[in-house]
Structure 1
Amino acid sequence: MSGLQATRMRLDKWLWAARFYKTRAQAMEAINGGHVRLNGQRAKPGAALQIGDQITVRKPSLRFELTVQALSQRRGPANVAQQLYKEHAESIVRRETEQAARKEQARLNPRPKRKPDKRERRKIIRFVNKYDQESS
């Protein structure tokens, strides 16, 4: 089984080949943690995946709903990996809406332009320690 000729393959290996996770170990951890569903059910990393299966992948603040279009034993370039699945239209709209909301939230809560320097860090530490002592 090489390239795109496979008819069945492991779920963790497909998630790795489709570039949802950098390593198979990360894919296995996500599956075992319940962040990946196969045809609406929790699955094991070694679950047999076929063309046409429905997969839901939850990553921090992102959710992908996919249909498997092809199987690949190899991890190739991103443009090849994107041909392995088709994301549902509702999933794309929901994900883009959530990303826009996160960007708007970040715009409303700006970050400092730079890290505190050594003197400022010491002041922060003193303040926090003083507050901790008063509340105890």
Structure 2
Amino acid sequence: MTVNQGGASAVRIDVWLWAVRIFKTRSQAAEAVRAGHVKINDQAVKPATQVVPGERVRVWKDHRYLEFEVTGTTSKRVGAPLARSMYIDVSPPSPPRDVCAALPVRDRGAGRPTKKDRRAIDRLRGAR
């Protein structure tokens, strides 16, 4: 197993995201990179882009941004305790669950909103 803590060994970004358990599979990691959901130092990248310790990786996952500072690289998937030592999580805190749960939800199968419903939605959004 090749584990490099703090050295300058470069590894592909899709491999690194998979190896440190940000994504469950390498194909999911590569797909996220191709879709533009992964940035290194605020630059859009391709799956084969090399990442080295000291760089900042920003990932859009589960409807929020995760930010990591790379402290180590590995080309093999490692256990969770070792994976957490490969990066420093500098992500902003997630919003409280009660805020997310308080959003209004329209009943499934209720059809299109009526004119009255649409006006209420507009008022809620602050459009009027």
TM-score normalised according to structure 2 size: 0.72
SS in 1 for 2:67: strand
Query: Which aligned pairs between 1:84-103 and structure 2 lie closer than 5 A?
Result: 84-88=86-90, 91=91, 94-96=92-94, 98=95, 100=96, 102-103=97-98
Indicate the RMSD between aligned Cα atoms, in angstroms.
2.5
1:52, CA displacement in angstroms?
0.5
For residues 64-103 of structure 1, the C-alpha deviation after alignment (integer angstroms, 9 at most, x for no partner) is 1111000012111111111110012xx2xx333x1x1x34
SS in 2 for 1:37: strand
TM-score normalised according to structure 1 size: 0.68
Which has the larger share of helix? 1
Would the alpha carbon gap of residues 105 and 66 (structure 1) be closer, same or farther in structure 2, given more than 3 Å must change?
closer
Structure 1: tracts of 5 or more residues without a match = 110-127
Greater length-normalized contact order (CA 8 Å, ≥ 6 residues apart): 2
SS in 2 for 1:71: strand
Aligned residue identity for 1:95: P
The percent identity for this pair of structures is 33
Aligned residue identity for 1:54: R
SS in 1 for 2:39: strand
Query: Runs (4+) of structure 1 moved beyond 6 Å?
Result: none
Structure 2: tracts of 5 or more residues without a match = 104-108, 113-128
Q: What residue in structure 2 maps to residue 120 of structure 1?
A: none
1:33, CA displacement in angstroms?
0.5
Query: Which aligned pairs between 1:70-85 and structure 2 lie closer than 5 A?
Result: 70-85=72-87
Question: Aligned residues, how many?
Answer: 106
- Measured in 2, the distance between the counterparts of 1:81 and 1:50 equals 15
Q: What residue in structure 1 maps to residue 25 of structure 2?
A: 23
Q: What residue in structure 2 maps to residue 49 of structure 1?
A: 51
SS in 1 for 2:29: helix
For residues 27-65 of structure 1, the C-alpha deviation after alignment (integer angstroms, 9 at most, x for no partner) is 010001111001110000000111101100111222111
Structure of higher CA gyration radius = 1
Which has the larger share of strand? 2
